[in-house]
Structure 1
Amino acid sequence: MPKTYSRWYHPYDSNDKYTRRVAYFCMEYAIHQSLKIYSGGLGFLAGSHMRSAFDLRQNVVGIGMLWKYGYYDQERNEDQSMRPHFTQKYYNFLQDSGITVRVVVNNHPVLVKAMVLKPEVFGTAPIYFLTTDVPENDHLARTITNRLYDPEPNARIAQSIVLGIGGAKVVEALGGAEVYHMNEGHALPLAFHLYQEYGQKEEVRRRMVFTTHTPEKAGNEEHDIQMLHNMSFFNGITLEEARDLTGTTGHMFNHTLVALRLSKVSNGVSQLHGEVARDMWYGNEGVCEIKSITNAQNVPFWMDKQLWDAQERDKDMTMQQRKEEMKRKLFDVVADQTGKIFKPDVLTIVWARRFAAYKRADLLVRDMERFLRLVNKSDMPVQVIWAGKPYPFDHNAVNTFNKLVYISQKQDNVAVLTGYELGLSWKLKHGADVWLNTPRRPREASGTSGMSAAMNGAVNFSVQDGWLPEFARHGENSFVLPIVDTALPDELQDEEDYNNMMRILEQQVIPTYYRDRERWLRIVKQSMRDVIPAFSSDRMAHQYYEMMYNYQVRS
């Protein structure tokens, strides 16, 4: 492999602490509202990581995919229910890197072109986005990079080949990397490319690190190993050699397990998730060490500077005035989408994230009569906003979204917003008084949205899952639900969490907001002070160098 790095472009000299060359592979990045190539938390995390890599002058480049139709555009039918729409995207701020590489998919050659997002555009490390939509490819090959998380298994496998092997070849064209970081297992074919390059499993492990993001089965992909072999997933090595290299004995190939076997070190994305991941995977032979590096968000991008300055000076009146201004900007969106005028002096609860089943978007309406009493109490009214993108082919998730839409249509102070992307997410976190988080514990690996909400004066009200146990102190900087017995059936867990949530809302959260403003502001300020810098992505990006990229495998 060439040892010249003249094309490894950064507009700065690397900080001496971060000189090791790192290639960061991720299927999605949330960088800017105009760049629609992400679905949710994984992309938000990757975007903040690339911003902090730039801020800290780290020697990192990102490798991603240029999705022709993005994830999807969330639109509405005539009855206001959700309609996914796929629209071709164009980006004049991406430049042709001059790099085109060749991969093999299903025994057919496919050309992969790299478009570069230069650091000066949005303040990130350079990111190279891969596309197969080039004239030299046949029609089927050109569709590989059409849609993020394509529902067709063969398309998903082809996308992994493009990201992993195509991305590795782009990195080599840039001069090579010392560390290859897989942010989730989507880029796993990278490992087989490195194996072909270096010929030894230990040489692969010396170069590769891995971040696992979810304890959910759907997030830890499995495929039939023969199908993967037929699709050229293993980059030309025989099926027997692939089995031997990965330790796969049955017919099903687990991507996360193999990534853990072929990396020198890995990490979960919160302290709790690290524990859960170790319990999940340490019983398997050959798994690398699983550390914990808690996810975080980029402070300069997410935080309102005026609100932060006011809390630093303990200017309570200024804080309240600024928060009302931030709420009004969010309520302009509510009015535009729903025709409802929300009031800035009313407690506003926001639930906004992916509509995955375990996140329980509809927990708040489990008992409709009680919910209606809660939001319509005349002396202490409440406004509720939901937002989020269900996976468009998950009919149960779409039905949950639509159920909330229909409920909201009958209530003046309840809204469901579409278009949960960076721009709307920013306004929701700025405008929320309470950031509600209701996953079934311990199935939320991190849940970073609450971090950026706290940066903007929103009080977290949450199940003690993901990052929250490292942050939350009930009644001091947040409100948290008691931990329920996870051995209980889901229905009983839901019932217990619901009753605890409503009790705390009715008896603590709402009365504090209306009847003890001094205490409410103390909680808000403590929350803002505790979230920074502990949950700043600068801390996270630094830890990745210290704990992962510079890690030496013990003999």
Structure 2
Amino acid sequence: MRCPPYEFESYRLRGLAMRESVPQRLSRLPELARNILWTWRPGTQALFSRLDPELWESTEHNPVRLLRETENLGRAAEDPATVALYNLAVQDLDRYLDGQGTWAGHVYPRTDARVAYFSAEFGLHESLPIYSGGLGVLAGDHVKSASDLGLPLVGVGILYAQGYFRQRISAEGRQEEVYEPFEPESRPISPALSPDGAPVIVGIALPGRELSLKVWKVEVGRTAIYLLDADLQENSEEDRLLTARLYGGGQRTRISQEMILGIGGVRALRALGLRPNVYHMNEGHAAFLGLERVRELVAAGETFEAATEKVAGSTVFTTHTPVPAGHDAFAPDLFDEFARDWPGELGTDREGLWALGRKREDWGEAFNMTVLAFNLSRGRNAVSKLHRDVSLDMWKYLFPERPDGEDPILAVTNGVHTWSWLAPELAELFDRHCGGRAWRREVENPAAWSFVAGIPSGELWRAHEGTKRGMARFVNARLELQKERTGRDVPQEINPEALTIGFSRRFATYKRATLLLSDPERLRAIIGGADRPVQFVFAGKAHPADEPAKAFIEALYWASEEDDLAGSLVILEDYDMNVTRHLVQGVDVWLNNPRRPLEASGTSGQKASLNGAPNFSVLDGWWPEAYNGRNGWAVGEPVEYASEEEGDRVDAESLYSTLENSLVPLFYDRDAEGVPLGWVRVMKEAIQTVAPTFSTQRMVQDYVHKLYVPRANRAG
């Protein structure tokens, strides 16, 4: 089944028109815009910003839209400074794509590990809104570091025509979801092409019909992500909406999306001429890829048993959530409707298929996608050491004692992509104080960061003050827009001199965004000191169906409206990567207070400490592996309480007392030059301990050593 040719032809003609409108002296601007290497190249971003500063901001830093809409290109081609920036950006792209001397080529020169990384969401940049939060941002950082390391890897995901959603907070404090068309022609993506140059269309079977899927390509440095899209004219109106929204719709939409990702994703790779020998499922959403690969092997003559073992031997599965409700499970009647023909295609019967995903849920027997993923993988990992222990306990019934002593679930702790999250001002400071820029070449090596201890405290503090002022301008501009839209009367403006504590993440009730409000009078006393002001900046989205999490947003909103808290407690709407980037680069402290042990890893605190903001967190997820008593602060104790109420009470007391007795006094203890020397010591320790160990550079290397190479060359 083919896509109507005019869709791709019109896309091609629009691309040609864009190229023809670009002056010859800047002829490779479209190429620079299409490869999102620019998202971690400040020099290339400076080039796009220089072309049209206002349009760069209003398009959410989208260079494709900028090139299509700006009228400044002719003038830019005559500006020597712009042409110089352009030439540097082109040279940087060419050097990068040349790929000489990469880590993977040096460490594994003879190992043929070709990885396909499947994820329901990818957080690459705010101009590609196909992510909801941490899972997607981690996936995006994973692919970026794979590119940096020279690892042969491709991503597979879904193109959501309406994205997740734009968040608005009403004058009553309620979250409102706004969905906008994606308009792929104005994004840094392109139609994927087969080896013979044809647009790639694949199909999967849904109950009673065939679904056609168009494949799009995102260039991510040296690698690529392929996205599946059901918005084709040959599909019914209802089916065209199957890929409209991330995590939208009910169970029928969810199982359809997971078939699109897993089954459609494998078929897309085949149509593209790609033959990975390691398949990585980022969460159970992608587990149907294992069944599609079993089907292929059975069709080639393998038995069901041999095929499942061969598939499992070449598959890696990363589990992310210790919350039982976070694992997708489908009722028997729904699964049987969608999987009616699968037993015959897989060479088994219904019981043989059902056994791969069977789990007894609170509401009855179900086909559980995490169970399927565990059963069809031999390389398995959790995302922190604590999460591994929790996962082993959750799923121990799946793993009887093994005579070889093999650990059924490994720990590969999450990290962050240094170059996507580090403030350029700090990178320049580090370059000045690290001879030979060793920290850039070995970002995952703690020894390469030892120079941070020798940076003069005043220099580090002034650099931080600069990023903090930029963050405050951004926050205050967003608050002013919110005020204009809602007609709020209460002044909302943060003070760039005050101790600023940030909290930016997906809102879920276990993350306890409102723990800070447990004792309002004590909070008022903490923030109200005239000579030691303290302020909190919150941002985050709740899932559209999560009313309790939406209530947390409403509670924070109304607290921010109170006269004695206004300006000292603010909540920003439309949380995305842009908001998070400004906050992690500019706040003084990062707050995280989930209920232990429900935070599998978390990475926002890693981004903040990379930028010198100490982490102030419950000892959950990644933080127990990093905390040493000198690089941040702990909330509560590393224990599980008898009840949620007791845990909330104890942790709130710890939060308040640590603010009162440690954080606030240390921040405002200044020398004659106005530098908080004790605070800067904590900043330095945070950078040195967090930046290398919790980078995706180290994380992807762990995947290669522990999971990818051992699984390579076992594919069918």
Aligned to 1:108: 209
Over residues 237-288 of structure 1, what are the superposed CA-to-partner deviations in whole Å (9 max), with x where a residue is unaligned? 5523312444668731221122111101100001111111111112225798
Larger fraction in helix? 2
Kindly state the Cα deviation for residue 136 of structure 1 after the two structures are TM-superposed. 1.1
| Farther off after superposition, 215-224 or 489-498 | 215-224
What is the one-letter code of the residue matched to 1:197?
Answer: E
Distance (whole Å) between structure 2 residues aligned to residue 473 and residue 234 of structure 1: 55
CA distance in 2, matches of 1:420, 1:112: 30
Shift of 1:94: 1.1
User: 1:56-108 deviations in whole A, cap 9, x for unaligned?
Assistant: 11100000110011010011324454211111112332111121111012242
**1:185 lines up with 2:319 in the alignment:** no
Paired letter, 1:438? N
Is 1:50 aligned with 2:146? Answer: no
Candidates 232, 241, 264, aligned match of 2:352: 241
Whole-Å separation in 1 of the counterparts to 2:520 and 2:161: 41
Aligned 1:427-438 pairs, distance under 5 A: 427-438=582-593
Pairs within 5 Å for 1:84-123: 84-92=177-185, 93-97=188-192, 98-119=199-220, 123=221
CA apart distance, 1:551: 2.1
Query: How many Å separate the matches in 2 of 1:58 and 1:489?
Result: 46
Cα distance in 1 for residues equivalent to 2:429 and 2:115: 38
Cα shift at 1:416: 0.3
Equivalent position amino acid for 1:429 in 2: V
SS of the residue corresponding to residue 201 of structure 2 reads: strand
Normalising to structure 1: TM-score of the pair?
0.93
Which runs of structure 2 are paired with 1:93-492 in the superposition (5 Å)? 93-97=188-192, 98-119=199-220, 123=221, 125-174=223-272, 175-199=274-298, 200-232=307-339, 235=342, 236-237=345-346, 238-246=349-357, 251-285=365-399, 289-310=408-429, 312=452, 314-339=455-480, 340-410=492-562, 411-474=566-629, 476-483=630-637, 485-492=639-646
Cα offset, 1:11, TM superposition: 4.8
1:447 deviates by 0.7
- Deviates further, 235-244 or 342-351: 235-244
Out of 156, 162, 167, which is 1:69 matched to? 162
> Which has the larger displacement, 237-246 or 190-199?
237-246
Unaligned 5+ runs, structure 1: 1-8
What CA distance in whole angstroms lies between the structure 1 residues aligned with 2:323 and 2:115? 28
Equivalent-residue separation in structure 1 for 2:627 and 2:553 (angstroms): 28
The whole-number CA distance in structure 2 between the counterparts of 1:368 and 1:401 is 16
Structure-2 residue corresponding to 1:543: 702
Q: Amino acid of the residue matched to residue 87 of structure 1?
A: E
Asked whether the 8 Å contact 2:596–2:639 carries over to 1, the reply is no
Mapped to 2, the partners of 1:107 and 1:505 lie a distance apart of 60
Unmatched runs of 5 consecutive residues or more in structure 2: 1-34, 36-95, 193-198, 299-306, 402-406, 431-451, 481-491, 671-675
The number of aligned residues is 542
Shift of 1:124: 6.1
Contact 1:246 1:262 in 2 (8 A): no
Q: Deviations over 1:18-67 (max 9, x none)?
A: 64111000011110110000000001100110110110111000001100
What's the CA shift string for 1:194-236, capped at 9, x where partnerless?
1111132111212211000010122212221331121238845
Which amino acid in the other structure matches residue 306 of structure 1?
Answer: E
Distance 1:261 1:385, change over 3 A: same
Taking the aligned partners of 1:505 and 1:396, their CA distance within structure 2 comes to 27
Output the CA distance in 2 between the equivalents of 1:272 and 1:189. 28
Q: Cα gap change, 1:402/1:71 in structure 2, threshold over 3 Å: closer, same or farther?
A: same
Alpha-carbon distance between aligned partners in 2 of 1:12 and 1:280, rounded to the nearest angstrom:
45
Q: For 2:125 and 2:628, how far apart are their aligned partners in 1? A: 33
TM-score when normalising by structure 2: 0.73
CA distance in 2, matches of 1:153, 1:360: 27
Give CA-to-partner distance per residue, 1:101-157, whole Å, 9 cap, x none: 1101224210111100123xxx36200011000111111211110100014111011
Alignment partners' CA distance in 2, 1:482 and 1:412: 28
Q: Return the offset for 1:308.
A: 4.6
Q: Distance in 1 between matches of 2:123 and 2:711?
A: 31
Deviations 1:471-499 (Å, cap 9, x if unpaired)? Answer: 1112x111112325414111111101111
State the identity as a percent.
34
